[in-house]
Amino acid sequence: MLRFAHQPHAPSYYHASANPWVAQPSLNESLACDVCVVGGGLAGISAALNLAEKGFSVVLLEGATVGYGASGRNGGQVIAGYACGVDTLQAQVGKEAARALWDMSVEAVDIIDERVRKHGIACDWTRGFCNAAIKPKHMRELEDWQREAEEVYGYPDMVLWDRETLRSRLDSDRYQGGLFDPRSGHIHPLNYALGLARAALEAGVRIFEQTPVLALEQGARPRLKTEAGEVRCDHVVLACNSYIGHLVPALERKIMPAGTYVIATEPLGEARAKSLIANNMAVCDTNFVLDYYRLSADHRLLFGGKVSYSGREPANLAQAMRSDMLRVFPQLTDARIDYAWGGFCDITVNRAPDFGRLSANVYYMQGFSGHGVNVTGIAGKVVAEAIAGTAARLDLFSRIAHRDFPGGKLFRTPALVLGMTYYRLLDCL
């Protein structure tokens, strides 16, 4: 796991508007527990909370602070499904299993609603999401997906909007129409992570921040070493994602850090904000290199995009993102940009989530590929089920095959940059 040297959160709107959080201590002793979870993002916290609710004693080790990584700085979109699309899943595991995986993605959205209500988490949870079509062919693809979702996957919730209908909700001329899902939505991701962490503490989870795991010794009773302490346990759950580092090289080879970036405008005022997105839905477009955006509770526009595999932040990030925003909303030329931030999420080769076991008692969750806000909830739940003795749902995810990224450490980044350039060109055609 990477060393963080007490780095602060990204200078994001989320960090600036975060609910109070009492910093947890670093580990400076030897502990024993039933399960040790490594990683204090949404996946790790979800697993820890579910395990504690099942009666396990749980220690969670976080290398920086709770919600430090992608969990605390993403676009906040909560979307049923996976980044890879159900066709990828069906090709690998068959139609019946793909239907079960789809159902779990819908359950993941409902988990957020349940957790927010149960624990009173103030995180601006709002229903409503639209996938907006850039090109006529994208509109035809949305029509096909709506039909398949209803007839094959038993999901009749989505409504197809033509150009005029979408335009009445979204004040942009950029789109051909869209597919609206009233069940999906958006959230303040850092406040959700902090709220889940508080719930985990109340359930008995011991959380240690600023505690990178330096080594993992597997075996009948695994041992995790930190700078000033260690944990011995019966089971380990690894939820490090982009920050796995060299802790488990076999897992690191199956993911690639992808840079994602977001800006937040100044508060626009309620009337102006509603003139942009009348029904307060989250939106993303249908390009491969997509734009995604939504309104905040204090009436800002949060606008994300510019996925990068180079490892370098785009030059003049705020201005570059503002140019993309104005392509969608040219009426915001006078709007000030108050925040611009970015960081890494992890992707897999096929963009499907990668959950499974390294051994009989070491579990892992990674590869959320941009859909982690909700999919982390089901990931933590199925891993907890497996540790408690019911592994059928985790085994279903384990049937999805995952390859190492080609090219090794030296060549995989240039290869992905070339691939991204190809898809950017396709988006422009």
pLDDT at 329: 98
pLDDT at 80: 97
Residue 281: band (very low, low, confident or very high) from pLDDT cuts 50, 70, 90: very high
In a domain, residue 141? The reply is no
Contact 400, 93 (CB under 8 A): yes
381-393 average pLDDT score: 98
In a domain, residue 221? The reply is yes
In a domain, residue 48? The reply is yes
Give burial (CB, 10 Å; 0-12/13-18/19+) of 427: middle
Q: At 32, which CATH number?
A: 3.50.50.60
In a domain, residue 230? The reply is yes
Across the chain, what does the average pLDDT equal?
92
In a domain, residue 219? The reply is yes
Smallest Cα–Cα separation from 295: which of 312, 273, 275, 317? Answer: 273
∠6-12-18 over CA atoms, to 5°? 80
137-159 per-position pLDDT tens digit: 999 999 999 999 999 999 999 99
In a domain, residue 134? The reply is no
Q: For residue 215, count other CB atoms closer than 10 A to its CB.
A: 12
Q: How far apart are CA 216 and CA 297, in angstroms?
A: 42
pLDDT at 7: 53
Q: Identify which has the larger pLDDT, 321 or 8.
A: 321
In a domain, residue 59? The reply is yes
Residue 1: band (very low, low, confident or very high) from pLDDT cuts 50, 70, 90: very low
What share of the chain has pLDDT > 70, as a percent?
A: 92
334-386 per-position pLDDT tens digit: 999 999 999 888 999 999 999 999 999 999 999 999 999 999 999 999 999 99
Q: How far apart are CA 395 and CA 410, in angstroms?
A: 33
For residue 61, the one-letter residue type is L
Give φ, ψ of 115 to 5 degrees. -65, -40
For residue 74, the surrounding DSSP H or E stretch is none
pLDDT at 306: 83
Query: Which domain range does residue 400 map to?
Result: 13-73+190-254+350-406
pLDDT at 59 over 60: yes
Domain count of the chain? Answer: 1
In a domain, residue 339? The reply is no
Residue 315: band (very low, low, confident or very high) from pLDDT cuts 50, 70, 90: confident
